[in-house]
Amino acid sequence: MIKPHGSQELMPRIVNTDEEKESLLKLASEMKKIKVTSAAAANLVMLGAGYFTPLDGFMNKDDLVSVADDMKLKNGMFWPTPVVNLTNQKVDFKEGEEIALVDPNLDGDNILAIQKIDKIEKLDSKEIDNIIEKVYGTKDSSHPGVQTFYEQGDTLLSGSVRVLNFSYFEIDFKDTFRTAMQIRSSIESKGWKNVVAFQTRNPMHRAHEELCRMAGERVNADGILIHMLLGKLKPGDIPADVRDSAIRTMVKHYFPKNYVMITGYGFDMLYAGPREALLHAVFRQNCGCSHLIVGRDHAGVGDFYGAFDAQEIFDQIPKDALLINIFKADHTAYSKKLNKVVMMNDVTDHAKEDFVILSGTKVREMLSKGETLPKEFARPEVAEVLMKHYMEG
């Protein structure tokens, strides 16, 4: 099986035994506490679940600037996006101290992790602007990822972490949330060698379904990992529980049994386009996947990125940066001639009028107006799940 990123084995930061957890919670009651941002909490879940191997905690300023500028840590390890604990709260602790990190997404003082504070550093506005510009390709605060980064604060708390739980993800999504360790173990137990990962923050429509099928056939995959984001999204995106139900419905009716693994991960969407596509590749490699599908406007938002920027960035990184292979998907559309979804560059005999262009945005628009989705957009069983959500909403 493919090795994890930068390591021979996964390096999850989750505390494994109840005894150690109880001991740390007792110690935490005497520690100074800070309520982290949702973005930092999501980073903790990913660190705990092994997805961010080989990182052991939050980046300091040197690593953060190096990642923003050159997509690597100061030690040379490839890494495409910041993994930080930024705050705008008053800091009443010192470097070298251990502090308790409180989960912002659960009621009460639920302790999510213990952090050893290596450094407390300030970022000035120029440094923050530079980091955002490099990572997101824009400083425009109408970009949801940019706005989130600006709102986090300017005090950077770096250091290693010990994660105590997986926040609301293992409670709200107990059938879907899986750690990188669990996914890797499932792949191994199935005896799969070639595994194609499909990233989604949306319900899967006909185009997504066919894309998985095409990628699986072309790389001779033993199985497909449908891996959905379960964290925070921008307003208007379809909630995780509805997506989960729609995806399970589609797989049940339209894929062979035991060919698709449906899982989710606890992270907030960055909408960072090309940089986030690279991050998606890192943690799918950590899951044990051999391939990741990167399609049109992967992890993008609005008009901030070109349609295939997220594919092109993989040609700009060092060849040894990642072990996982990328399946580059073209525009997909429904062919009226062939009565099926195709990749447009595969059918050179088609004219523009031979296609029905598929779009998640268009689907959401139709659903919000109470319009029935045509068969070219969505399977009837999936359309029913989505329509129910919009009607009840």
Paired strand residues for 328: 294
Kindly name the residue from 201, 206, 275, 284 that is annotated as catalytic.
201
Contact 242, 288 (CB under 8 A): no
Cα 106 to its chain centre, rounded Å, is 21
If DSSP states are collapsed to H, E and C, what string results for 113-175?
A: EEEECCEEEECCHHHHHHHHHHHHCCCCCCCHHHHHHHHCCCEEEEEEEEECCCCCHHHHCCC
Largest Cα separation within the chain, whole Å, is 71
Q: How far apart are CA 304 and CA 190, in angstroms?
A: 40
Q: How far apart are CA 216 and CA 329, in angstroms?
A: 12
Q: Does the annotation count 202 as an active-site position?
A: yes
Q: Which helix (H) or strand (E) holds 326?
A: strand 325-328
Q: How far apart are CA 215 and CA 213, in angstroms?
A: 6
372 Cβ partners below 8 Å, 6+ apart?
366, 383, 387
Q: Return the DSSP state at 350.
A: -
Order of all β-strands in the sheet with 340-343: 340-343, 332-335, 355-357
C-alpha separations of 207 from 166, 214, 370 in Å? 32, 10, 21
Kindly name the residue from 60, 202, 213, 379 that is annotated as catalytic.
202
Burial status of residue 33 (CB atoms within 10 A of its CB: 0-12, 13-18, 19 or more): middle
Q: How far apart are CA 371 and CA 390, in angstroms?
A: 10
Q: Which residues are catalytic?
A: 201-202
